[in-house]
Amino acid sequence: MEIKNILHPDCTLCAVQGSSKKRVLELISQIANQYLIDIDQATILSSLTCREKMGSTGIGNGIALPHGRLQNLENVIAIVVTTEKPIDYDAIDNAPVDVFFAILVPENKASEHLGTLSAIATKLNNKETLSRMRSAKTNQELFEALA
């Protein structure tokens, strides 16, 4: 799986002022809603927050992989957001998070998203990629760090 197959340049947002976990998830759902016009923002947000209630998607090292399943979605879509300052996200290492790589998957392809999450985690484990993401000054630079 190549990230460029699921991530569109319009779905990256660099150095935002995220103040809380809730606000970042709202922002992710807003970005997704602009791209997925047939699925309302509240549905997207609900999918993300329902998953977070099962346990934080903060995987450590300042990274979170929020994800959710959606009906009426045909293909996996990714949304990437970095925050100006790390925020508390209840990550497994208790460290604040500044890199959010969210994916939304079709409800009927739920098993596929585990492989996608694994591929994303591997990509974000690359110190050079992560450094480029964190130092990106524009949305395009953030996209290019991943694609």
Which sequence positions are flagged as catalytic? Answer: 67
Structure token pair of residue 2: 């190549």
For residue 106, which amino acid is it? P
Please check whether residue 28 is in contact with residue 81, taking contact to mean a CB–CB distance below 8 angstroms.
yes
Structure token pair of residue 136: 């990106």
Please check whether residue 57 is in contact with residue 64, taking contact to mean a CB–CB distance below 8 angstroms.
yes
